[in-house]
Amino acid sequence: MFYTVYSDDKGNIFESKKYLPVGRAGNRFVEIQEQDLIELPSGAELMMLPGRHPVGISRKDGRFSLVEDGRNVFAVGAVLPQGYTRTLLPAYTSNKGKRGKPLPLFGYTAVAFKGDRFYIAAKKTDETDRWDPKWFNTPELPDLINQKCDKFPENRILKQLARCALDYGCFTAQNIFYERWEGGIPVSPTCNAACLGCISKQPAECCPSPQARINFIPSIKEVVELGVSHLLNAEQPIISFGQGCEGEPTMAGDLLVAAVLKIREKVAKGVININTNGSRTGVINKLCEAGLNSMRVSIISADEGIYNIYYNPKGYQLKNVKQSIITAKDKGVFVSLNLLTFPGVTDREDQVEALLRFLRETGVDMVQFRNLNIDPEFFMNALPPSGNEIFGINNLIKILRHELPHLRIGNCTPYLLS
């Protein structure tokens, strides 16, 4: 039997055999079933959720109840490594009915306990192990950073990436120094959206940003020398524009187009990818002609109302995003949706129907599920109420596979594009 997990005010985690585990889908409490759970994977972290009182199902009367053990207790959530998609949120209420300071920007997942092991409400959705934490933050990383910075001493992007690699533990930054797989090259300090869950720039009244945004526009030389070096020397090389430490990369459109052209003059192999909101179709078209062959477009919903609430777009609309995808597909570019996933919203009936229409109309090659990093209450309070049926994340994945059998489903940008 699975039991509820909770924390004391010192961060110690306990199980309570008086309560069965509960998850949350949007604003609805849901009894966690055995089929909802997998063992806590390597690289996952358990976190105390301060000011949030855990909810379980009382074994005495079978009702949703506040977990009590005679002291101040807090809910617990798990933060997952790449390759796993959460299916339920932690179940809690804000202490004394008041929502305090928003939680830090993580993708909190429901947790349960059985025997001597923790379990989470999640599904493994990508088989690659390239993002397994065991490959990162290794003892030799500082030396590799020094060697790379010595090789390109005037490159300011490398200085940014060194900070991202060491201070923030960013895997795409670290890959530049490990010379392998997907390596990030940030280029743009500005953005034309103001996302509720932006990890590099937040208003003062919200939760703090977990990393600092790049504060300069690099030169073409800085971009090209890093891009060429990675594509020539890395294992299964991908260079990616549009990282967590920058704004929207197409805001530096002229720079990017010129840099991609020069990189492709020197290196034909490897993947040049952009992570983008897809707002600037003209820039996307030029990048495709210059040699871009992979594009991942961030989207939270194919419904314009929810899309606008989350992204707060400036000077563009969802129809521009759609046109950018169609343009890239017409140019032969492999296109993924970076689907910001939130149980109880993404898997709502109206959202699933809108997503299916969007995928059919654009011809997207892949959906990459990305757990939305945000305080659940903060996000739900920003959305209008909905009475739509919630299918569940597992059923959403089944629907996508049934309705669009050609569609790839995963969490990471693939190296092989065919």
Question: What pLDDT, on a 0 to 100 scale, did the predictor assign at position 245?
Answer: 83
Q: Does domain 133-410 have CATH number 3.20.20.70?
A: yes
Instruction: Give bridge partners of residue 49 from the DSSP assignment.
Output: 75
Residues 6+ apart with CB under 8 A from 67: 4, 6, 16, 18, 19, 53, 54, 55, 56, 73
Question: What pLDDT, on a 0 to 100 scale, did the predictor assign at position 61?
Answer: 94
Query: Residue 221, SS3?
Result: helix
Spell out the alpha helix ranges (H) of 267-403: 281-290, 304-311, 318-330, 349-362, 376-382, 393-403
Query: Residue 281, SS3?
Result: helix
Closest CA to 414 of 40, 83, 46, 61: 83
Question: What pLDDT, on a 0 to 100 scale, did the predictor assign at position 66?
Answer: 94
> What are the tens digits of pLDDT across the range 342-391?
999 999 999 999 999 999 999 999 999 999 999 999 999 999 999 999 99
Question: Which uninterrupted H or E stretch holds 21?
Answer: strand 19-25
Question: What pLDDT, on a 0 to 100 scale, did the predictor assign at position 96?
Answer: 55
**Which regions in the chain score pLDDT beneath 70?**
95-100, 200-211, 416-418
C-beta separation of 311 from 300 below 8 A:
yes
Question: Which uninterrupted H or E stretch holds 52?
Answer: strand 52-58
Report the C-alpha gap between 37 and 30 in whole angstroms: 13
Q: What is the largest CA-CA distance in the chain?
A: 71
> What are the tens digits of pLDDT across the range 318-328?
999 999 999 99
Listed by start position, the domains of the chain span 3-124, 133-410
